[in-house]
Amino acid sequence: MRKQLVLLMMSALCFIMAYGQGTEIIADFRATDGFGNNCYYKIIDATHRYVKLLSGEKSDQWGNPIGTASTFTTTGIGGLPGSVVHPVTGETYYVKSVTNLAGSQLRMNNLDKMTISEGIEEVDGFMWCAGKVLVLPTTLKRVSGDGFRENWGLTQVIGLENTQLESIGNEFFTQASSLTSQWKFPPTLKSIGYNALPFVPAQHQLTFPALVETINIKFIDASTTGNISPGLGNFSPTDFIKVVRSENPVPPTIDATGVWGVTNDDWRFLRITINYSPLQYTDADSIYVPIDATAAYNAKQGWNMYANKTYEEVKIGASGYATLYLANENFEVPTGYEAFVIENITKATTPGGLDKANAKKFVAGSIIPAGQAVILKGAANQTCVYQANVSGTPVT
């Protein structure tokens, strides 16, 4: 029995060693770039001369350096290059991905500015890097691993809205406690994970782009929001997110993955605790959704907590009029506007004459039933804000 146990342990050890060796990435060359870094690179596409920047001459499956490590500029202006020149062949190679740099020389650096250069599409992880300003490239498609978490010295993120990211993962910028910048998402974004983003008190508006499908119920990283821990009475009810726009006509799913003991109140996913004694929150005042989408949002878990704060918008033209048709929901004519329903058309009685539309007018407060086309009258070139899917008796 003891012999069998020893054999089993030896087999397991051999497997672990083989697995570790099999997942190591071995560099093909080392080169110095325009930022002054001296890094190792693995060729990932010889035809197009694409490379991956490694943290060392070898990199394990987690991106940790093995052997001699890559070296980086750690003060002043630094960055990750979009291209490097092979020291032997003189050919230019293009950096497409970057290994996890959490254990690299960039850990707790003093950079004033860190630029991830254009051309880089994927970063495996960039935690614990204390540079003050982070510039993201428009080519960035994926950030995996630990994302940019625990970058405590980070004050500003530039270019997030111009990337091609589809996912802002769990704890993406968690504990970035020095941030002063506000978030604007790229149009490619589809999902936002748990504790993904801290918010500054001055950010009162947030837009979820049209492709967003999933938002974690705790996507707001409340642990270090605004450089002061919430719940200690440091904030006002007027702080943080007040106006939210969701551009997807299909309401994104509010996902509770990774969150334990979810209560009904927790589904108010835009709410932040600002004081514990007495208990006090700040929350969104208004949610703007696409035309004819209020009913769908009101029926969706999470969004339904804001049913009485949900609005739609339509642009009034230069003539002072706009047409509006809601197939799925009624709406209330807002204050300052009138609605007209065409009842019939009187044909012109003379050659070249104009037909006459006979319309019925409805004043502010009237509820127009679903499936009824109307003409709205209001101030020219203004945006008409109205509520749909309301209770009450529709006009006839």
pLDDT computed for residue 33 by the predictor: 98
Statement to judge: residues 291 and 379 lie in one domain: no
Residue of 268, 256, 284 lying closest to 194 (CA atoms): 256
pLDDT computed for residue 20 by the predictor: 41
Cα separation, 199 vs 289, whole angstroms = 22
pLDDT computed for residue 14 by the predictor: 41
pLDDT computed for residue 224 by the predictor: 58
Statement to judge: residues 234 and 361 lie in one domain: no
pLDDT computed for residue 315 by the predictor: 98
Statement to judge: residues 290 and 340 lie in one domain: no
Residue 11 lies in a domain: no
pLDDT computed for residue 327 by the predictor: 97
Query: Which pLDDT band, with edges at 50, 70 and 90, does 109 fall under?
Result: confident
- Average pLDDT over all residues of the chain: 89
More confident residue, 235 or 372: 372
pLDDT computed for residue 232 by the predictor: 52
pLDDT computed for residue 392 by the predictor: 95
Residue 392 lies in a domain: no
Residue 58 lies in a domain: yes
Per-residue pLDDT tens over the stretch 315-331: 999 999 999 999 999 99
| Sign of the dihedral through C-alpha 77, 80, 85, 87 | positive
pLDDT computed for residue 100 by the predictor: 86
Q: Which of 279, 311, 343 is the last residue of a domain?
A: 311
Helical segments of the chain, H only: 2-22, 294-298
Residue 14 lies in a domain: no
Mean pLDDT, residues 172-191 taken together? 93
The model's pTM is 0.88
Statement to judge: residues 165 and 301 lie in one domain: yes
Statement to judge: residues 238 and 134 lie in one domain: yes
Statement to judge: residues 97 and 185 lie in one domain: yes
Residue 346 has pLDDT above 90, yes or no: no
pLDDT computed for residue 225 by the predictor: 53
Residue 312 has pLDDT above 70, yes or no: yes
Residue 7 has pLDDT above 50, yes or no: no
Q: Which of 311, 333, 362 is the last residue of a domain?
A: 311
Statement to judge: residues 240 and 379 lie in one domain: no
Residue 21 has pLDDT above 60, yes or no: no
Distances (CA, A) of 133 to 27, 35, 181, 224: 29, 15, 10, 18
Mean pLDDT, residues 64-89 taken together? 93
Statement to judge: residues 237 and 264 lie in one domain: yes
pLDDT computed for residue 2 by the predictor: 45
Residue 4 has pLDDT above 80, yes or no: no
Residue 165 has pLDDT above 50, yes or no: yes
Q: Which of 284, 311, 338 is the last residue of a domain?
A: 311
Percent of the chain with pLDDT over 70: 90
Statement to judge: residues 301 and 320 lie in one domain: no
Cα separation, 302 vs 266, whole angstroms = 9
DSSP state of 347: P
Tally of domains within the chain: 2
Residue 374 has pLDDT above 70, yes or no: yes
More confident residue, 108 or 96: 96
Statement to judge: residues 324 and 269 lie in one domain: no
Cα separation, 167 vs 164, whole angstroms = 9
Residue 335 has pLDDT above 90, yes or no: yes
Residue 286 lies in a domain: yes
N- to C-terminal Cα distance for the chain? 87
Residue 9 has pLDDT above 50, yes or no: no
Residue 8 has pLDDT above 60, yes or no: no
The range of the structural domain enclosing residue 360 comes to 313-386
Sheet holding 110-116, edge to edge: 75-80, 110-116, 133-135, 156-158
Q: Which of 30-34, 101-105, 198-202 has the lowest mean pLDDT?
A: 101-105
Q: Which of 3-17, 22-36, 255-269 has the lowest mean pLDDT?
A: 3-17
Residue 122 lies in a domain: yes
More confident residue, 288 or 200: 288
Lookup result for tokens 């033209």: 317
Cα separation, 106 vs 75, whole angstroms = 10
313 contacts: CB under 8 Å, gap ≥ 6: 288, 291, 383, 384, 385, 386
Residue 6 lies in a domain: no
Residue 321 lies in a domain: yes
Residue of 377, 391, 390 lying closest to 324 (CA atoms): 377
Query: Which pLDDT band, with edges at 50, 70 and 90, does 276 fall under?
Result: confident
Statement to judge: residues 341 and 298 lie in one domain: no
More confident residue, 64 or 38: 38
Statement to judge: residues 359 and 237 lie in one domain: no
